[in-house]
Amino acid sequence: MGRILVTGSAGFIGFHLARHLLEAGHAVGGFDSLNPYYDVTLKQRRHEILGAYPAFIPEIARLEEEGRFAGFAETFAPDVIVHLAAQAGVRYSIEQPRAYLEANVTGSFNVLEAARAQGVRHLLMASTSSVYGANTDMPYRETDKADSQMSFYAATKKATESMGHAWAHIHGLPITMFRFFTVYGPWGRPDMALFKFTRAILRDEPIDVYNRGEMYRDFTYIDDLVRSILLLIDAVPPAPDAGAPPVPGDSLSPVAPWRVVNLGNSTKVKLTDFIDAIETATGLTATRNLMPMQPGDVPATWADAELLRALTGYAPQTDLAEGVAAFVAWYRDYYGV
């Protein structure tokens, strides 16, 4: 079994990934700042669950604090690092851009340096579907040009992709970048639509529906996402001169052991249909407050997941109604509703 360091281990995705790794018998180092961007109690509860596993070693600190992550990585001595920690949220990046610069750019730089120093066999880093920005040709493919980001959040994530490519080229460090597509499920983030809509509907409060419902997202269930990451841990990008057989549609760099992979459900869902699924799961009807498009947002995302399938033999497949029902059941249980 391996030693895997997960940044953002108290976050939505990091928590689920760390728990799966621990259940599989791996030692997991969990690094998280318990940032107050959303309910810290929820993050603490996630870490409490992970703390029940003897092989979980937590460190509470900020990635951007010089030397803290490097010291933890040196002590933990990981084989693999999965970097999920970030300042998230498109809309909040308009209000607090410096938080994104520090956490996403400086923090990721510190992760890259620590991964190089420790000589890990694979560094996996979270990006986002938001990097596709103003692209309108869908479904999005990893080889599509992505130079028109529409939010500072997306810009910082694209910066981490470029930084990772440079480190892979200069230091021969194998790096896989994930582009996540609207991840949802139990223990999800309170700032995301599913959480906000469910909470409001159960309280008989109206919900804000942006762009008057003419929005489309590729909703990816958390268990599908975690399984994809687990499989990609062993799909290490080969060096350019390794003579590896070509993979159809690969985004592998011609000059570095680096690639980017979409992690999405490959299904474009209209926002109004998403709300319908929540209404079905709760047994209640939403009062819909139709709003204009939010600044920095994009009207649609849709993933081509063929590269993930080619690399792992797997692609996300959870039905939206099933996934939404699982979240609503968790929400009712967690909050006693």
Which helix (H) or strand (E) segment is 114 a member of? Answer: helix 107-118
Nearest residue to 43 (alpha-carbon basis) of 35, 55, 31: 35
Which residue in this structure is represented by tokens 């999920």? 84
Quick one: 191 exposed, middle or buried, by C-beta within 10 A (0-12, 13-18, 19+)? middle
Cis omega (within 30 of 0) for bond into 139: yes
Rounded to the nearest angstrom, the gap between the alpha carbon of residue 270 and the centroid of all alpha carbons in its chain is 21
Neighbours of 241 (CB within 10 A): 6
How far is it, in rounded angstroms, from Cα 42 to Cα 293?
Answer: 29
How many whole angstroms separate alpha carbon 190 and alpha carbon 197? 10
How many angstroms separate the CA atoms of 278 and 296, rounded?
25
> DSSP characters for 160-172?
HHHHHHHHHHHH-
CA pair distance 215, 57, nearest whole angstrom: 41
> In whole angstroms, what is the distance from residue 221 CA to residue 225 CA?
6
Q: What angle do CA 114, 115, 118 make, to 5 degrees?
A: 85
Unique residue bearing structure tokens 């728990």: 19
First to last CA, the chain: 40
User: Which residues belong to the active site?
Assistant: 153
